[in-house]
Structure 1
Amino acid sequence: MPRQIGFLAERAAGAVEEMDRPDCDPTLLRRTYQQFPVVNRAIAGWRWLYRHRLRPLLIAGEDNTLLDIGSGGGDIVRFLARWAAADGISLKITGIDPDERAHAFAVSAPPPPGVRFRRAFSSDLVAEGRRFDLVTSNHLLHHLTPDAFAALLADSERLSRRAAIHSDIRRSPAAYWLFAAGTLPFFHGSYIRRDGLMSIRRSYTAEELRRAAPSGWSVENRPPFRNLLTYRVPADA
């Protein structure tokens, strides 16, 4: 594992991002949601994830289902719906987020066909007996307490028929300083830069994530500075 330096040597697990505060500025928060698609297209790697991890698990000629947990403003859900439609794949997507502000932004524009957003926790869907072919999340893991992290993975196992893939930032000095420099001229009037740097500080290294994950889950490093935490449902399940 690369040697960490200074304030990046350990996770800033107790830090709080501005947009997570209930009293954060609503204008800055809305601009943050508006700018997420730009940031996620640039660094989150979901186009690659769709092509190489999700698309091979989608079955042509069938109605496939996907649950995105912590869907925020809904940009990842919209990306996935568009890519599947372009491939001629039937994919019904549910995006859930318990934050009323995120949910309000997600439903402020008409969703693509087959997409719905709900204000809910993953545990709510487990209680309803829901199942989905695939379960995903983006930039969620580093927000969670140890108990919430364990609960999310347990819920993901119960909710998924084929696989669950949680994609998050991988903490490193290079990730921090490149993001700091790359976003300096941009994203004024939002929380993108400030909270993005805090997210890197709160995120896991690959080795930390391997230690935190239960049996049955695997961790994969992906560029640039990504961790993929994946669960594949056993064939005999």
Structure 2
Amino acid sequence: MDDPSCDPVALNNTYALFGVINPLVASWRPVYRRWIRPALQAAAGEGRTPTLLDVGSGGGDVARVLSRWATRDGIELSVTAIDPDPRAYSWALAHDNGVGVDYRALSSADLVAEGERFDVVVSNHVLHHLSPGELTELLTDTSALTGSVAVHNDLRRSRTAWLLYWVGTLPLIRARTFARFDGLLSVRRSYRRNELIDAVPSGWSVRQQRFFRLLAVFAAHAEPGRTSSSQPS
């Protein structure tokens, strides 16, 4: 998918499938309840519209579902979804379906340069795509952009997770999509808990969730210093 010359039909099919696969594997609901909703409610309690940024948003499915959950909870939320890949931006914009997310073809560094701030910053399956230097840059940008809390939600590397995904995506083996191959590669590239603890800078915590998930969490008003936890969040 990162190849600029990859099959455009397969790429579009993959963006569409993310809306099916992510709800099954990404486990955003407990993250929303534990980290995101309280921050949004706190902002709304101050008499202003809460803001949320999705970094590396791809097809925009996570940004849209978080927007819908906030609406169901009676929270008027302003959601921005950024991805530097113009193909992702174009697909997401064309498939917003009236949710009203603000899609932008930008990087986190671009928003830092613009002086932007958001109550909540999130990403889904971004960390394992980055080199160590790029990971540090993203987390540094995130802490500058976050007014309350940031949660980068990613896979946790495991042989069992790889095997389950291999079996679960067998129906896609002949489909014109990158979802199977790219997903298996992503599991192999992802972090184990201790590896991510070593990779995140001071001020970040690493939380292990069920279903082979890791969260890198930054609380803007937390005490300084890095902490870690193996307990579900």
Fold-level similarity (TM above 0.5):
yes
How far does the alpha carbon of each residue in 1:114-168 deviate from its partner, in whole angstroms, 9 at most, with x for none? 5200000000000000000011000000011111100100001100010110000
TM-score (norm 2): 0.90
- Equivalent of 2:40 in 54, 58, 62: 58
Letter paired with 2:62: I
SS at match of 2:54: strand
What corresponds to 1:36 in structure 2?
18
Letter paired with 2:53: L
The reply on whether 1:109 has 2:95 as its aligned counterpart is: yes
Query: How many residue pairs are counted as aligned between the two chains?
Result: 219
What corresponds to 1:45 in structure 2?
27
Structure 1 residue runs of 5 or longer lacking an equivalent are 1-18
How far does the alpha carbon of each residue in 1:183-215 deviate from its partner, in whole angstroms, 9 at most, with x for none? 112372211110000000111001100000111
Compared CA separation, residues 114 and 196, structure 1 to 2 (3 A): same
What corresponds to 1:83 in structure 2?
69
Compared CA separation, residues 80 and 112, structure 1 to 2 (3 A): farther
SS at match of 1:73: coil
Distance 2:97 2:220 in 1: 29
Distance 2:16 2:199 in 1: 32
Identity among equivalent positions (%) equals: 50
SS at match of 2:106: coil
How far does the alpha carbon of each residue in 1:54-96 deviate from its partner, in whole angstroms, 9 at most, with x for none? 1111124531001110000000011011110111101101000
TM-score (norm 1): 0.89
Q: Which runs of structure 2 are paired with 1:20-169 in the superposition (5 Å)?
A: 20-59=2-41, 60-61=44-45, 62-110=48-96, 112-169=98-155
Q: What value does the CA root-mean-square deviation take over the aligned residues?
A: 1.6
Distance 1:156 1:203 in 2: 20
SS at match of 1:153: helix
SS at match of 2:188: helix
What corresponds to 1:180 in structure 2?
166
The reply on whether 1:232 has 2:214 as its aligned counterpart is: no
More relative contact order in 1 or in 2 (CA 8 Å, sep 6+)? 1
Structure 2 residue runs of 5 or longer lacking an equivalent are 225-233
Offset, 1:113: 4.8
